Structure 1
C-alpha cells in the first residue's frame, strides 16, 4: 500500500549502486543547466531570479518521492512562467510583494487542483485538450515569450505589453536608435554560442559556458557602467518558510489561470514522461503523476517558489546524461541548495541579456509551423484548429487564445459526432464481403434491400441526421422491403437514440422491415433494458450482415 502511495518506497530500498554514477552525472549536468534557466524563467514570470532557484529545490525532491517517472526533470519552464505572468500581472505589479504573494497562492491552487485530479483518478481529462490546440498555443506562446525578452536583449524599456505582439514589434522598430549596442552584442553573441553548443558540443552545457564568459566580460570591462543591465545581488541562503495569503476574490480571479497551468503543465510533463518510459520499458501512472506534481507545487508554495512542471529539454538532458532513478533529481536539488548557500555572489555581474538569450533559444524549438502543415494534410479541421488557436493566442492573449482553441476543438468534436459517417453497403463478389458502395463501384445492390452502416455512437444530437439520411434513401428507392442496419461501428447508445430509432422504423416507410446486425454487447445491454429483446427479438439477433441477408433469402424462399 505504501509503495503505491509513495513510489519512492519501491525504488529507494531496492536502489542498485551501479545506477549511482549515472544519477550523479545527470544530477550535476541538470543542476548546471537549471541554475541559469531557473533564474531566466523566474524573470520571465515577473519574479526575482532567485525565486527560480527556490523553485528548483523542494519541488524537485517532493516529485522524486511521489512521481512515477524515473527521468522526468521537474522545475520552472518557459510556458508556465509566461502563464504566471499573464495571469497574475493583471492583478498586481510584477515584482511587488503583492505579486509574489499571489504567485505563491497560484502555486498552491495549481498543486491542489492537480492533487485532487490525481486522487479522484481524473487524469483522463487532459485528453480533452486537443493536440492541435496545444501545438498552436505553444507555437504562439513561444513567439510571445521570445518577443517579451527584447527589452533585456536590447536594453530598451518598451511601453507595449508583453502580450501585445504586433504593437511590440512596431515599437521596437521605431525605437531601434535607442538600442544599447553592448547589450545587444552580448545578447546576440550568447544566442549564437548557445546554438553552436546545442548543435555541435552537446556534451558541454552551453548555458553555463555563456553565463561564465558573460560574467567575466562584464566584471573585467566594467560593462555595467555602459548601461548593461545585470542581475545584481542574489539573496544567499535556502528559501524561508512562507505561507500564501489569500482572499476569496483573489482565488476566484486566479482560478482560470490555475486551471490553464494545471492542464498545459501536465500535458508537457506527461508527454515527456511517457516518451522516456516507452524507451526504458516501464510504465508511468498518469494519476500518480498528477499527485506527484500536485504535492511538488503545494510544497513549493510554502518555500517561496512558483509553479513547476516537467520540462522537455531538461528531461531529455537528464535521460541522455545517464539518469536511472529519481535520485538524479534529488542530487540536482541538493546542488542548487549548495549554490544558494555559498555561490550566489558569483551571479552579481550576470547580464540580463544572457538570461534573455537562454529563454529565446529554449523556446525557439517550440515554434512548430510544420505541425500545422502536417495537420492540414491529415485533417482540415485539426489544421484550422491549430491556425485559430495560434492567431487567437497571438492577437488576443494567452488565456483567451487557449480558451478559444479548446472551445473550437470541442465544437469540431461535437460537429463530427452530430454528422457521423454513414455508408450504404453492397456485396463485392470478388472478395466475398460487404463494402461501401461509394468506394467500391462494383459492389452489387439488391433493389429490395438497403444495408446501412453507422460509424459512430448514437445519441440525441446525431439521430435526426441518421434518420434524414435513411428516410431520404428510402424515398429514392421506393421498392425497398428490408433495411439492414449494420451496428458493428456503434459502441454506445443513449435513451433518446433508442426512442428515435423506434420512431424512425415507423415513419420512414411503414412497409419496410428493419433488421439489425453486428450489435455489440454494451449496446445490446441497453437495448434489452428498453425491452427490445421482447419487442424486436427476431430483428436484432444477427451477428453479421451475411447472416441477416441469408435470413432474408430464406424468408423469400419460404414465402415463395
Structure 2
C-alpha cells in the first residue's frame, strides 16, 4: 500500500501547486493567523492582553538573563531570544496562551554545545549557528507538513528527560548559588555535586547569604500567596512577578554592598560578591552565523537534540493549553512559526527559543485573549535592552541562580507521576526512567535518544508479537465471538460461558497489521492452535519415509499436554469462583432477596470446554476463519505468509494426500485497504469448478427451502456424513444450533442468514461459519462421497 500512499501524496502536492495562484489569499491567512483575528479584535480584550504582556515581560527579563548564564552566553543573548520570539509569535502563532523565548532545557543543551565548540568559535557564534540550524530544520518540517514525526516521541520520554534536565540545571547552579568557585558545571550532575563538596573551602559567605535569601524569598512569596491569595488575581500577581521583585531587591542590596568596593588599576570595580557587571545596551547589528558543513557534522548530535527538545516542548505546551481552553492549534503552522522565528533570531545574536511552560501559564492566569500579548512582552524586553542595562550591572549571580533553581523546579515531575506510569503501563514507566537517568548521568541528547530508542524498540516488539486470540461464541449470544476460555491471552478474570464452533472450524484474530515483523509469529501460533484442537487428516508416514528433522508428533503431544495443564488450572480457578459465587448468593439471599440474581457475571451452570489429548477425540481440520477487523494493513510478506499458512493447513487437513478432502481459509471484517490486496492474491476465491458453482447455488436454494419448512432440522443437523463437521447435530445443537435457529427466525437481518457461496470474505463470523458449512456440503455432493 505504500506505493498507493506515495502516489496520493504526490497527487495532493501537484493539485496544491496547480491551485496556488487562486488560493494565495487563503494561504496568506493560514500562514499569518493575525489577519483573521485582528479585524475582529475587541477593545475589551486589550486590557487583559496588555496586563498579560507586561507580566510576562517582567518575568522573562530576569529569566532570560538567567537562562543565558545556563547556556554559557552573555546575559543579553537571552533577552535577544526573548523579544524576537515573542514578537514573531504574535503574527504567526495559533495559540493565545503560548509564549516563546529562552527555556531551561534548551539553554542546558546549548551550553553543552558552546563548551564543545569553544575552541573553534565564540559563544555568540555557536549560539547563532545552533539557532539557524534548528530553525531551518523546524521550518522544513512545517513546510513539508511532517509534524507526524512528533508522534514517535511518547509523552513519558518527554517527562523523563525534562525531569532529568531540570535536575541537572538545579545541580549545576549550586556552586554559584553558594559562592563556590573552580567547579566545572558542564560535567555530569554527580561530578558537579562531588566537586562542589570538595570546593566548599572556597565558599563565599556573602554569595551564600544572597543566594539563600533570594531562594527563601522566592519560595516564601509563592507559599504565602498560595495560602492567602487563592482565587484572588490581584494577590496572585505578586507570586507571578516574584522573579522580578526578588531580582530588583537583590540588585539594590548588591549595589549597597559594593558601593565602596575597591577598584583595580584600570578603574574596574572589584566586587565583594559575584555580579553580572557590564551588559551591552541596545540591539546588535545583524550578522550571519558562520555555518559550514564541517561544523554541522561535528555538532550534529547536539543540534538534533536541541531541535527535538525545541519541537517537543513547544507542541506539548501548545496542546496542553489548547485542551485546557478548548481550542485547536495547527501543528505544522506552529513548526513553521517556530522555525522562521529562530532563523530570523539567529542573525540578531539570539539562541534557540521555544515555548515556555511557566511563562505560558502566566499568560493563561492573566486571562490573555489573543497572541497580541506577545507584542507587549517583546516591546518591554526591547525597552529593557535600550534603557535598563546599566541597572543590570549589580545583579548578583547568586540571585540569578536562585531564580533559575525555582523556575526549573516546576519542570521536575514528582515520584507520584512516575508511580502512575508504573501502575498504568510498565513499558512507559521504563521509557521515562531510561530518559531520566541517561539525562542525569550523561547528557540531554543521550536521554532523548535512549528514551525514544527504547520506546521504538517496545513498539516494534508489540508489532512483532501482537495479541493473538482463538474466538468462540457466547452460549447466550451466539452472534458474539470472544476470546475462548482456554486462550492463554485472556487479559481478564471474568469467565464468560462460551461454546465451541462446529467441529473442525477454528476462528482466529490477530490484533495487528499483517506485516513482515509479525507474520512468522502468527503462522507458528496459528499452526500450534490447529494442532491443539484438531487432528491430522493425511496419511501417517512410516519411519523410513519421515525426514530426519520431523518431530511434529512430539511437538503436538507437548502442545496438548500444555493445553491440558492450562485447562486444569482454569477449571480449578473456575470452581473456586463458583464457590465464592454460591457464598455470595447465600449472603445476598439473607440481606437482599430481590437482588440475588445479580450476583455475578458467571452463569449459574458453566461448563468449561474439554481439553482432550487423544486424536480420536478431536475433529479433522475443515476450515480456519480469520477475523481481520483489527488488521489495518498487509504487505508482501504478510500476504505470502497467509499463502504459506493456507498450504500448511491444507497439508495438515490431508488435502495433499487426498484432493477430495475439504479445507478452506475464510476472512471476516476485512478493511478497505486490505481487501484489494487479498482479492488480487486469489486467497478470497473458493477452489471450485464451474459445475461446482452451479451445485453450490442449488444447495443454497435447497437449504433456504429446508430452513423455512423445518427450522429444527436445519439448525440441528447440517449434513449426513461420517465426518465430524457433517455429524454436527445433537451433541452441540443446544450450544450453537438452537441459537442459530432462533436468530434465523428473527428479523430479515438475522445473523443466521445464508451468505454468498462464491467468496471467502464475509461481514461477520457467523456468516463465515454458515459459508463453510454450505461449501462443505456442496463439496461433498461434488465429489460424491463422504468427507472423512
Q: Is TM more than 0.5 here?
A: yes
1:41 and 1:359 in contact (8 A); partners too: yes
1:379 equivalent in structure 2:
425
1:331 paired to 2:376: yes
Contact 2:474 2:482 in 1 (8 A): yes
Q: 1:221, CA displacement in angstroms?
A: 2.7
**1:345 equivalenced with 2:390 (yes/no):** yes
Q: Compared with structure 1, are the counterparts of its residues 540 and 185 closer, same or farther at alpha carbon in structure 2 (3 Å cutoff)?
A: farther
RMSD between aligned residues: 2.0
Given that residues 5 and 66 in structure 1 are in contact (C-alpha distance below 8 angstroms), is that contact kept between their aligned partners in structure 2? Answer: yes
How many residues get paired? 558
| CA positional deviation for 1:259 | 2.3
User: What CA distance in whole angstroms lies between the structure 1 residues aligned with 2:453 and 2:272?
Assistant: 46
Work out which of the residue numbers 118, 138, 145 in structure 1 matches 2:162: 138
Task: Determine whether 1:42 maps to 2:42.
Answer: no
Check if 1:457 corresponds to 2:503. Answer: no
* Structure 2 residue 362 is the aligned partner of structure 1 residue 317: yes
Distance (Å, rounded) in 1 between the aligned partners of 2:277 and 2:35: 42
* 1:496 matched residue in structure 2: 637
Deviation at 1:313, TM superposition (A): 0.6
CA distance in 1, matches of 2:775, 2:449: 57
- Establish whether residue 54 from structure 1 lines up as the match of residue 80 from structure 2: yes
2:557 is matched with which residue? none
TM-score by length of 2: 0.68
Structure 1 residues 519, 97: closer, same or farther in 2, change over 3 A? closer
Identify the residue that residue 113 of structure 1 maps to in structure 2: 137
- Residues 158 and 168 in structure 1, CA contact (< 8 A), matched pair in contact too: no
Contact 2:310-2:354 at 8 Å conserved across structures: yes
1:545 Cα deviation after fit: 1.0
1:221 aligns with 2:267: no
Deviates more, 1:449-458 or 1:288-297: 449-458
**C-alpha distance in structure 2 between counterparts of 1:466 and 1:206, whole Å:** 61
Report the CA distance between 1:124 and its aligned residue. 1.1
List aligned pairs for 1:358-397, cutoff 5 A: 358-368=403-413, 369-397=415-443
Pick aligned residue for 1:552 from 772, 777, 788: 772
Structure 2 counterpart of 1:473: 529
Match of 2:280 among 235, 239, 253: 235
Which structure has the larger Rg over C-alpha atoms?
2
Q: Which residue of 2 aligns with 1:28?
A: 54
Task: Please say if 1:521 is aligned against 2:672.
Answer: yes
- Given candidates 214, 217, 221, the residue that maps to 1:193 is 217
Q: Which 10-residue stretch deviates more, 503-512 or 41-50?
A: 503-512
* 1:360 partner SS: helix
8 Å Cα contact 2:278-2:393 kept in structure 1: yes
Q: 1:91 and 1:11 mapped to 2: Cα distance?
A: 44
CA contact (8 A) 2:305 2:444 kept: no
* Greater length-normalized contact order (CA 8 Å, ≥ 6 residues apart): 1
1:209 maps to 245
Q: Is the 8 A contact 2:506 2:624 kept in 1?
A: yes
The answer to whether 1:444 aligns with 2:444 is no
- What is the alpha-carbon distance in structure 2 between the residues aligned to residue 494 and residue 349 of structure 1? 67
Deviates most, 112-121 or 342-351? 342-351
Per-residue CA deviations over 1:352-406 (Å, capped at 9, x if unaligned) read 1111111111211222233322222111111111122222222222222221222
Which stretches in structure 1 are left out of the alignment for 5+ residues? Answer: none
Deviations 1:276-311 (A, max 9, x none): 223333221000000100011011011111100011
Contact 2:666–2:684 (CA under 8 A) maintained in structure 1:
no
Say if 1:57 and 1:336, in contact at 8 Å, map to a contact too: yes
Distance in structure 1 (CA, Å) of the matches to 2:291 and 2:761: 62
Equivalent pair of 2:686/2:759 in contact (CA under 8 Å): no
Is the contact made by 1:272 and 1:312 (CA closer than 8 Å) also made in structure 2?
Answer: yes
Instruction: Report what 1:75 is aligned to.
Output: 101
Question: 1:482: which partner in 2?
Answer: 623
Q: CA deviation at 1:498?
A: 0.5
Q: Give the one of 541, 544, 554 matched to 2:761.
A: 541
**TM-score of the pair, normalised by structure 1:** 0.95
2:632·2:673 contact (CA, 8 Å) conserved in 1?
Answer: yes
Q: Which ranges of structure 2 fall in alignment gaps of 5 or more residues?
A: 1-25, 226-235, 262-269, 536-618, 654-662, 688-756, 781-785
